[in-house]
Structure 1
Amino acid sequence: MTQQHISTQMIPERDEPALYINPNSEQIAAFAEEAVTVEDQPRVRLLADSDEIKDALYSFLTASKIAELIHRDQLSLRTLAEPVQNTIFTTESEAVVPVMGKYSISSSDPELVSSVYGEFDSRFEAAEQYHLRTPALSVVNQTLREEIGDATADELNEVLAHAEEISNSNEYLSIVEIMLILAARNEVLLYDISKWGEDTGIASKATFSRAKSALEDTGLIKTEKVPLDVGRPRLRLLATETIATADLKTLSTEISTPF
C-alpha cells in the first residue's frame, strides 16, 4: 500500500467515519480523485497542513472534486495547528501509518487505536475549517445547464473527463479560459458566462473580462457587438477556426494559455 493511495484503498472497504491526518498535496489529490467516484462512502475528516491543502487546490480538477465531497457532506476539511510527524489514516477500529516506499503499518489493537483516534478526533474538533472558493462539480454542471445551456455543459464535461490539468490560476489553461473558449464555441454572450462564473464562484466578472481580452489578443476567440434596446451593446463570444475545430479531449493541453 503506497503512501499516496493509503486512503483510496481503505475508504471503500469501511462503513465507519475516518480521520485522515497530515496527508501531503499528492495524497490529498489522490484521495479526491478516488473518493468522488464513491457515492455512498463514509464521511472522512481530513486534517492537513494549510500549505499542502493550498498546493492541492491549485488544480481546479482536484479543488472541484474536494468541493463536491464537501457538498455531499462526505468530507470535512480543516488545517493542522501543530505539525504531525506521520501521515495517519484511522477509524475507530483500525489505524494505518505509511512508513517507506510501498509499505505501511496497521493495527487493530483496541487500546492503541482508541488512543490514536481519540487524540486526532480532539485535534480535528479544535482545528479551523478550510474554506474553499471553488464550487462543487455538480453545482457547476447544474447551473451551467440552467443558465448557459446543455451544449456548453456537455462540452465542459468532455473537457474535464479527459483533462490532464486545469489550473485555478494561470500556469496551465485556467478554468476561466476553458469556460470562455467553450462559450465562444457556442456563441454565448460574455455577460452571461461571466455572470454565471461570478454567481457560481468560479471567478469574478473582472477576471473573465481580463481573460477574454487575452484570448482575443492571441487570436483564440473573437467578439461581436450585440445591440440592446436600452444600454450599451453586449459582446457575443465567437470561436476562431482553431477553437471551433479543437478536440475537446485534448483541449486543456493543446491550447496554450495566453498569460
Structure 2
Amino acid sequence: MKWLRRDFHLASTAVDLVADEILSLRVTDHVFESGLVVGEESVTSIVMPDDRAAGLGTDDTEFVAAMRERCDEALETAGTIDLRTPPRSRVYETLADTFGSEVEDDFRAMLEAVESTRSGGYGNSDGDALDEVELTLLAAAIHGIQLYEISKWGEDVGVASKATFSRAKTQLEDQGVIATEKVPIDVGRPRLRLKIGDDRLRDVEAADLPITARELLASPPAETGG
C-alpha cells in the first residue's frame, strides 16, 4: 500500500476503480509467501526478477481450492485501507471546472504520457519522474495560472498541500523550468503568476513536456525569454 501511495499515477486510478466497485483493497496480517493472483480455477504466483515480472501458475484443483480457502480466511479479518489519494476522474473534473478544459487536457496528456510519477519513471532508470505536483505546475505555467490558485485547488481536491506546491515551484523555478511574475493585489503581498521558464519548452506538445522537462532538469538552464 505504501508503494502504491507513492505513485499518483497508479493510486488515483486504483481509487477510481474502488469507487466503481471494480476493485477492493484490504490489508491483512496473514503472511503470504509471494504476490498471488487467485482466481476461480487457477493460482498465479508473481515473480519479479530485476525490473521485470512474470507469472507462474497452476490449475491443480485441490491446490486452487486450498488457496482460495486460505484467502477467504484472510479476507474475513482484513481491514480496509485509505490510499489518501483523490480519484483520477475527480482531479480531471475539478481541474476543468476551475481552470477550463484546456488546462485539464494538458494535465491529462502529461499524466497519461508517463508510466509512473515515482522515481525512475518513463521507463528510464537514469532519471527521476516528475510527480503529480510538478506536472500540475507545468500545466498551470502553460496557461499563466497563479501559484495561489493552483495550490489552493490542489489542496482542496487532495493532490497535495499548498506548502508542497510552493516547494515544488521553488525547485522548478531554481532550475529554470518555470518562471514567475508578480501580480499586484489590493491588500497583502503580490501573488505569483506561473510561466514557462525555458524557451526550449515553449513549443513542446503537452504529452512530450514531462520527458523534455526531465532532460532539461539534468542539464544547465538555458537563457529564458520574456
- Sort the TM-score into its range (normalised by shorter chain): 0.7 to 0.9
Structure-2 residue corresponding to 1:24: none
Structure 1: give runs of 5+ residues left out of the alignment.
1-52
Query: Would you say 1:104 and 2:47 are equivalent positions?
Result: no
Query: Would you say 1:127 and 2:78 are equivalent positions?
Result: yes
Structure-2 residue corresponding to 1:197: 154
Structure-2 residue corresponding to 1:59: 7
Over aligned residues, Cα RMSD in angstroms? 2.7
Contact kept in structure 1, 2:43 and 2:64, CA below 8 Å: no
| Percent identity over paired residues | 36
Contact kept in structure 2, 1:185 and 1:243, CA below 8 Å: no
For 1:90 and 1:218, the matched residues in 2 are separated by 47
Identify the match of residue 245 of structure 1 among 187, 192, 203.
Answer: 203
Residues 201-220 of structure 1: matches in 2 within 5 Å? 201-220=158-177
Residues 96-175 of structure 1: matches in 2 within 5 Å? 96-98=43-45, 103-107=56-60, 109=61, 113-167=64-118, 171-175=128-132
For 1:128 and 1:171, the matched residues in 2 are separated by 33
Structure 2: give runs of 5+ residues left out of the alignment.
48-53, 121-126, 219-226
DSSP 3-state at the match of 2:107:
helix
DSSP 3-state at the match of 2:181:
strand
DSSP 3-state at the match of 1:224:
strand
Structure-2 residue corresponding to 1:254: 212
Residues 15-54 of structure 1: matches in 2 within 5 Å? 53-54=1-2
Identify the match of residue 141 of structure 2 among 159, 184, 191.
Answer: 184
For 2:201 and 2:164, the matched residues in 1 are separated by 20
Aligned residues: 204
Task: Report the residue type matching 2:195 in the other structure.
Answer: L
| Cα-to-partner distance string for 1:147-191 (whole Å, 9 max, x where unaligned) | 122111000111122213323899421111111111010011111
Contact kept in structure 2, 1:64 and 1:136, CA below 8 Å: yes
Normalization by structure 1: what TM-score? Answer: 0.69
For 1:137 and 1:144, the matched residues in 2 are separated by 11
For 1:102 and 1:86, the matched residues in 2 are separated by 11
